[in-house]
Amino acid sequence: MQKNIQVCLTPALISLYDLSNSIVVVIDIFRATSSICYGIENGAEAIIPVATVDECRNYGRGCLLAAERDGKVVEGFDFGNSPFSYTAEKVAGKTIVLTTTNGTHAINESKKTAYQVIIGSFLNLDAVCDYLKAAQKDVVLLCAGWKNKFNLEDTLFAGAVVHQLKGEDYFLDDSSTAAEDLYLLAKDDLKAYTGKTSHSERLKNLGIEKDIEFCLNVNTTQSIPVLKGDKLVRLG
Amino acid sequence: MQKNIQVCLTPALISLYDLSNSIVVVIDIFRATSSICYGIENGAEAIIPVATVDECRNYGRGCLLAAERDGKVVEGFDFGNSPFSYTAEKVAGKTIVLTTTNGTHAINESKKTAYQVIIGSFLNLDAVCDYLKAAQKDVVLLCAGWKNKFNLEDTLFAGAVVHQLKGEDYFLDDSSTAAEDLYLLAKDDLKAYTGKTSHSERLKNLGIEKDIEFCLNVNTTQSIPVLKGDKLVRLG
């Protein structure tokens, strides 16, 4: 049976999509979903995405509290969304409460109606694609973007997924076609291509170039974070 | 002084942009803005974009009434948005009241706050670019899309404009970069590339392939439709 792949280029458009029979892959490459994939791979028990800094602050003791706004750790918090804060030594066995500028917003927008919400990044690209192929569901690739606007790096990852899935009897919408073509332009040097983005320039100014490089590693993790209730946990 | 080019990929995102110092170029390649450019070139006195079919129907006698929904002429109307309805013999000296699925919505969304609203299509590509270069304003390229979702052909035209302007000290946002790269992939055979789109498939089913070919002609007209009050008229 033919299934659909659609790329939703920003969370501001998610209400246009019927998610009831879709697996939604939330994508925030720089850096929330890369860090979530890395943290779950490294044994974090759960990551709880929340919308606001206050909600994060009010969470019970025993959790690690992570808050990022405009690329910086919010004052008074254990850490933000740098992947280097999500090593096994820091997160194994822990529950992390996380709020970010774009990524957690996208997760919360999609969870209202989706069949299932999973988390994707270049780190777990093949794992995500293999899971989607086996699941035989419609797919919505939800780019977190930047403050509800389009960004390149999330779209490139969406294109990488489209590229792996398109041989499998999916119908592609226009944004899937565009995302795949952009990915094919970029794939041989993701770092150079994403260096063209306005967001990358902003991240460089924050002195987090090592984070950016880390988030462009492909297939370094195997686990897929999946939303169960309000928590992201390891699938399967 | 550095100026900005931004591509707004669908009208649903227009509220995210500050338009007060921007020239907004509304783009609905298949077929509203192509037909508007052709009609104004052919001597139409004015084209009045309205939101609803009822609003169109209630306009006074003496106007041509044009209404399209889902690619078809609405029953009881003189014509829809096929460019072949906008020849000199049909529209010279006339005022046309027009409502379409996507294009007129985009015009009405942007006119609320924009410094100026003009109409672009492949037909008047160079004329639009020359005007923008001379104007020294920020530019927002507003793609009408399809029912508030992204579409390829409008994005390609946005990319064509970005490509001409980028040497002129503009700052590009991520969607401008993406649009330009897609245009560079497509430019040598626009027809083949737009044949990949879901919208093109829909238009084929409507039997309007000649319209599609016509809308991909580049630089066949010189005039720029501009919004004055509620009317699109010839600029200058």
Domain ranges of chain A: 3-222
Q: Using CA atoms, how far apart are residues A51 and A100, in angstroms rounded to an integer? A: 8
- Give the CB-side neighbour count of residue B185, counting CA atoms within 13 A: 24
Catalogue the E-assigned strands of A9-115: 22-27, 46-49, 63-69, 72-73, 95-99
> Given this model, what pLDDT does residue B200 score?
66
The distance of A197 to chain B (nearest Cα, Å) reads 6
Percent of chain A topping pLDDT 70:
98
**The architecture CATH gives domain B3-229:** Alpha-Beta Complex (3.90)
Chain-chain contact of A12 with B9 (C-beta, under 8 angstroms): no
Distance from the first to the final alpha carbon of chain B: 25
Residues whose CB is less than 8 angstroms from the CB of residue A216 and which lie 6 or more positions away in sequence, other chains included: A29, A122, A190, A191, A194
> Given this model, what pLDDT does residue A11 score?
96
Interface of A with B in 184-223 (CB under 8 A): 185, 196-199
The answer to whether residue A90 scores a pLDDT higher than 80 is yes
- Number of Cβ within 10 Å of residue B233's Cβ equals 18
Q: Quickly state the pLDDT bin for A200 (edges 50, 70, 90).
A: low
| B175 contact residues in A (CB cutoff 8 A) | 149-150
| B150 contact residues in A (CB cutoff 8 A) | 7, 9, 173-175, 178
Chain-chain contact of B13 with A16 (C-beta, under 8 angstroms): no
| A143 contact residues in B (CB cutoff 8 A) | none
A234: cis peptide before it, omega within 30°?
no
Q: What average pLDDT is seen over chain A?
A: 94
Query: Which of B4, B16, B149, B201 is the best residue to mutate to test the A interface, defined by the most A CB atoms within 10 Å of its own CB?
Result: B149
Q: Which chain B residue is nearest to residue A11, measuring alpha carbons?
A: B13
For residue B46, the SS3 value is strand
Q: Which chain A residue is nearest to residue B186, measuring alpha carbons?
A: A181
| Stretch A214-231: mean pLDDT | 97
Q: Using CA atoms, how far apart are residues A98 and B160, in angstroms rounded to an integer? A: 41
The one-letter amino acid at B148: N
The answer to whether residue A226 scores a pLDDT higher than 90 is yes
Tens digit of pLDDT at every position of chain B (236 positions): 789 999 999 999 999 999 999 999 999 999 999 999 999 999 999 999 999 999 999 987 789 999 999 888 999 898 889 999 999 999 999 999 999 988 898 999 899 899 999 999 999 999 999 999 999 999 999 999 999 999 999 999 999 999 999 989 899 999 999 999 999 999 999 999 988 877 666 777 777 889 999 999 999 999 999 999 999 999 98
Q: Are A148 and B13 in contact (CB under 8 A)?
A: yes
Q: Which residue has the tokens 């992390």?
A: A96
Q: A3-222 has which fold?
A: putative 2-phosphosulfolactate phosphatase (3.90.1560)
Q: Quickly state the pLDDT bin for A37 (edges 50, 70, 90).
A: very high
Q: Which chain A residue is nearest to residue B156, measuring alpha carbons?
A: A178
Q: Which residue has the tokens 């996208």?
A: A106
Query: Which of A109, A140, A151, A174 is the best residue to mutate to test the B interface, defined by the most B CB atoms within 10 Å of its own CB?
Result: A174
| A30 contact residues in B (CB cutoff 8 A) | none
Q: Are A189 and A183 in contact (CB under 8 A)?
A: no
| Stretch A66-70: mean pLDDT | 92
Query: Which of A28, A151, A175, A193 is the best residue to mutate to test the B interface, defined by the most B CB atoms within 10 Å of its own CB?
Result: A175
| Stretch A150-169: mean pLDDT | 96
Chain-chain contact of B198 with A172 (C-beta, under 8 angstroms): yes
Q: Quickly state the pLDDT bin for A209 (edges 50, 70, 90).
A: confident
- C-alpha dist (Å) from residue B43 to A212, B27, B90, B178: 54, 21, 10, 36
Chain-chain contact of A149 with B198 (C-beta, under 8 angstroms): no
Q: Using CA atoms, how far apart are residues A148 and B3, in angstroms rounded to an integer? A: 22
